[in-house]
Amino acid sequence: MSAFALERRGGVAIVSFDTPNEPVNKISKAVGWELEELLGRLILDEPVKAIVLRSGKRDTFIAGADIEEFVQLRSVEEAVRLSRDGQLLMQKFADSPKPIVVAIHGACLGGGLELALACQYRVASDHPKTQLGLPETQLGLLPGAGGSNRLPRLIGLRAALDIILAGKSERAKKALKIGLVDEVVPEAILLETAIAAAERLARGWRAPRPGRGVAGVLLDHNPIGRTVVFRKAEATVLQKTGGHYPAPLRALEVIRTSLDRGMKRGLEAEAQAFGELAMTDVSRRLVEIFFATTALKKDDGVPSGSGRPRVVRRLAVIGSGFMGAGIAGTAVLNADVEVRMKDADLARVGKGLKAATDILRARMRRRRLTTYEFTRKSALLSGTGDFSGFAGAEIAIEAVFEELSVKRQVMAELEAAVPTDMVLATNTSTIPIHDIAVGARHPERILGMHFFSPVEKMPLLEVIPTSMTSADAIVTAVQFGRAMGKTVIVVGDAPGFWVNRILSPYLNEAGFLLEEGVPIEVIDKAMTDWGFPVGPIALLDEVGLDVGEKAGKVMHQAFGDRLAPSKVIAVMRGDDRLGRKNGRGFYFYKDGHKTGPDGSIFQLLGVRPAGEVDVARVQERLIYAMLNESAMAMSEGVVRQPRDGDIGAIFGIGFPPFRGGPLRTLDAFGAAETVAKLERLEAAHGHRFRVAPVLEEMARTGGRWYPADGR
Ligand code: T1G
């Protein structure tokens, strides 16, 4: 069945792209051939004077080339061929003797935008779902169907680099401003506007192109200015990626070749670079992450059909502190639900409401929220000093002090105040949910929702059911977490759940290294060099040394001496150091910004800072502490499959995406090699490095966490 339907309006042929049985339009090889054949027919069809290309899908235009086809590529040559074919298809659109107008509503990404760039005129709807972008670098690739060559020519070098290097999308209004689209109209008149433009173009009218501006002439359109731009862009890429991601650097090379040596050479360079990048392990890991996160969007954590979700229209939040306000603001921002916040006294409620509103205000300042949306969403927030207004909520989330007795009391008060079918969620970072649910009259509706701080920025949510939680409650919490914009993993009700479980030995090891006098910046740089966004010491300051101390105690109590924390945090707490939150931690802070390591902690610890440090050994101890714990937690069923463990680590603690997560890293290292390394570490540093039994088993049997073909 064809992906394209044809309708005629006078001299305008309207082509509707609607891949049958697919939720989104993708440009696969087959679709590309069909599109090329259709275009050829329309060009020869004398009555047709112009063409409009639109999507038949409700909220997506074209999601790009078919990523499924990349994972089947087996050689650079094959991948180069795929890119060349894409370029040739787009060139036919660019060379069309009849004007082609694209009517864009919804996601217009990757090859979809490259197709739009090859057309003569672009009209977009002003709907929030209309996003235009080239996300290829997020897959370890670069725009390989002409986009790396066409975009800089259309919108200028600097604007093009912004879009291609970060792989980000722009909403229609911004796209209009930078010249990526020619018109932005409400969806209701999108098609008519595109048809009118097609008719004008057929009569010889040409769209006015925005001026280049002084900066454009000085920087984008002259070789010396371009050198300055490329040098700055390369430095920024290296600073952001630590050199671990080749795609943005290759994109810079290709764009430079294209602008300095012409489009023909530029397209050759684009196809070659695409081909080489498609064969890199980095791209394979990033494509795996794409498919894993997409699969998680459909995984409610219970056997399909076994849970009936409640549609959440109102959220109740107990505790209006940092986390409670973050949860409230994020729920209003992304899930667009009413939120009622409660705290012991109205002054705290007022502070919480302000903090939640500030999350909306920050988005408005960055033009990711209109003033109207800000006002409307702010009105969804309300506060109370009692339980008034809670009865109308479908779900309540408590985010009170991380203390078992306090959480138990809140749950008891909640149960007494709200209907028995309301889902009651507790935001706790380590305390087992079944301990909090002790004594509950309806434990079937109680579960954990562990958000990460800051809530509005961190993408992961752990949903933690107890053995008594109902499937309805689980599905309701998972789908609401997703509506809040989170990637949700359902994890087992064991201390630390998944993320804090694998983080615990890693942070402990960082403390032991400090006790040996290894400088703070050496430890943190060792791990940022390995690919983490921040090092373990900086992470402790961010999370808060009080939180770290509490979590450390819970994990030590639960897992015994193997997870006994170093004495460092206790010493820091003794010196009233909380980290960023009180401006005194392992680092100095000025105006809320980290300024540098505070070496005075070594006097507190009574150790001399070490001179020479073997950084590779520092990396080994920290990495293997986390990998070993990951294997152990996996074997205990803390997460249901390696995919969830890897996504949880990447989205929860910034585990380097180019490595694919701790389980993919264990597969890359190999079980036998990992066991040997851990045995050496145990001999040197004690039983905390004792090999997880599952790894010994895998070393014997050659076992892996993922099938050898990588999927
Ligand atoms: N290829 C293959 N499958 C895709 C796909 C794609 N480009 N986009 C989506 N899908 C599948 C997805 O796996 C899921 O499958 C279903 O569609 C619904 O997706 C040559 C080389 C468009 C914003 O990176 O960002 O073009 O699980 O649940 O929430 O230069 O999908 O149902 O079987 O995410 O409404 C660049 C990726 C490709 C965009 C829609 N394009 N897609 O979100 O639906 S590389 C992308 C998305 C490229 C060229 C280069 C999102 C979406 P299943 P979904 P959604």
- The percent of residues above 90 in pLDDT, for the chain, comes to 86
- For residue 62, report the distance from its CA to the centre of ligand 1, in Å: 9
**556 has a pLDDT exceeding 90:** yes
To test the ligand 1 pocket, which listed residue (24, 250, 289) has its Cβ within 8 A of the most ligand atoms?
A: 24
CA distance readout (Å), 158 to 149, 163, 318, 706:
13, 9, 46, 41
Which atom, in ligand 1's list, is nearest to the CA of 144? 30
Q: Is the CB of 183 under 6 A from ligand 1?
A: no
- For residue 297, report the distance from its CA to the centre of ligand 1, in Å: 12
- For residue 136, report the distance from its CA to the centre of ligand 1, in Å: 11
Q: What pLDDT is stored for residue 238 in this prediction?
A: 95
* Closest residue to atom 49 of ligand 1, CA basis: 111
Dist CA 414 CA 397 (whole Å): 10
**711 has a pLDDT exceeding 80:** no
**1 has a pLDDT exceeding 90:** no
Task: Report, as an integer, the average pLDDT of 495-505.
Answer: 96
Tokens of 183: 């018109």
- The percent of residues above 70 in pLDDT, for the chain, comes to 98
| Fold topology of 314-490 | Rossmann fold (3.40.50)
How do residues 436-492 score in pLDDT, each as one tens digit? 988 889 999 999 999 998 899 999 999 999 999 999 999 999 999 999 999 999 999
Q: What pLDDT is stored for residue 710 in this prediction?
A: 55
How do residues 120-139 score in pLDDT, each as one tens digit? 999 999 998 999 999 999 99
In whole angstroms, how large is the CA radius of gyration of the chain?
28
Could you give the angle at which helices 520-530 and 499-515 cross, rounded to 10 degrees?
Answer: 140
Q: Is the CB of 395 under 6 A from ligand 1?
A: no
Cβ atoms < 10 Å from Cβ of 192: 13
* Closest residue to atom 24 of ligand 1, CA basis: 135
Minimum mean pLDDT among 173-177, 449-453, 502-506, 705-709: which range? 705-709
Q: Which of 250, 255, 265 is nearest to 227 (CA)?
A: 255
Q: What angle do CA 153, 157, 163 make, to 5 degrees?
A: 100
Query: Are the beta carbons of 10 and 29 closer than 8 angstroms?
Result: no
**617 has a pLDDT exceeding 80:** yes
Q: Which of 280, 286, 287 is nearest to 79 (CA)?
A: 280
Give the pairing of strands 395-398 and 314-318.
parallel
Q: Is the CB of 86 under 6 A from ligand 1?
A: yes
Q: Which of 462, 509, 542, 629 is catalytic?
A: 462
Which atom, in ligand 1's list, is nearest to the CA of 142? 30
Please confirm, yes or no, whether 114 is among the known catalytic residues. no
Task: Report, as an integer, the average pLDDT of 18-23.
Answer: 93
Task: Report, as an integer, the average pLDDT of 21-47.
Answer: 95
Q: Which spans in 203-262 are helix H?
A: 213-215, 223-241, 246-261
Which atom, in ligand 1's list, is nearest to the CA of 66? 1
Name, in order, each residue with C-beta under 8 angstroms of 491's C-beta and a sequence gap of 6 or more: 462, 463, 464, 497, 498, 638, 639, 644, 648
Q: What pLDDT is stored for residue 352 in this prediction?
A: 96
List where CATH 1.10.1040.50 sits in the chain: 499-701
Q: What angle do CA 377, 380, 385 make, to 5 degrees?
A: 140
**348 has a pLDDT exceeding 70:** yes
- For residue 234, report the distance from its CA to the centre of ligand 1, in Å: 28
Query: Are the beta carbons of 201 and 183 closer than 8 angstroms?
Result: no
List where CATH 3.40.50.720 sits in the chain: 314-490
Q: Mean pLDDT, the chain, as a whole number?
A: 94
Name, in order, each residue with C-beta under 8 angstroms of 567's C-beta and a sequence gap of 6 or more: 511, 515, 605
- For residue 29, report the distance from its CA to the centre of ligand 1, in Å: 15
Which atom, in ligand 1's list, is nearest to the CA of 65? 26
- Please tell me whether residue 102 adopts helix, strand or coil conformation: strand
Task: Report, as an integer, the average pLDDT of 403-428.
Answer: 93
Q: Is the CB of 89 under 6 A from ligand 1?
A: no
Query: Are the beta carbons of 706 and 642 closer than 8 angstroms?
Result: yes
How do residues 202-252 score in pLDDT, each as one tens digit? 999 988 776 666 666 667 777 778 889 999 999 999 999 999 999 999 999
**71 has a pLDDT exceeding 70:** yes
DSSP letter at 609 equals P
Name, in order, each residue with C-beta under 8 angstroms of 489's C-beta and a sequence gap of 6 or more: 296, 460, 461, 462, 463, 498, 639, 644, 647, 648
- For residue 24, report the distance from its CA to the centre of ligand 1, in Å: 7
Q: Is the CB of 143 under 6 A from ligand 1?
A: yes
Which atom, in ligand 1's list, is nearest to the CA of 134? 36
**339 has a pLDDT exceeding 90:** yes
How do residues 178-191 score in pLDDT, each as one tens digit? 999 999 999 999 99
Q: Three-class SS string for 438-462?
A: CCCCCHHHEEEEEECCCCCCCCEEE
DSSP E strands in 343-451: the ranges are 381-384, 395-398, 423-426, 446-451
Q: What pLDDT is stored for residue 261 in this prediction?
A: 94
Dist CA 659 CA 650 (whole Å): 9
As a residue count, the chain comes to 711
Q: Which CATH class is domain 499-701?
A: mainly alpha
Domain 4-279 has CATH 3.90.226.10: yes
Q: Is the CB of 110 under 6 A from ligand 1?
A: yes
**555 has a pLDDT exceeding 80:** yes
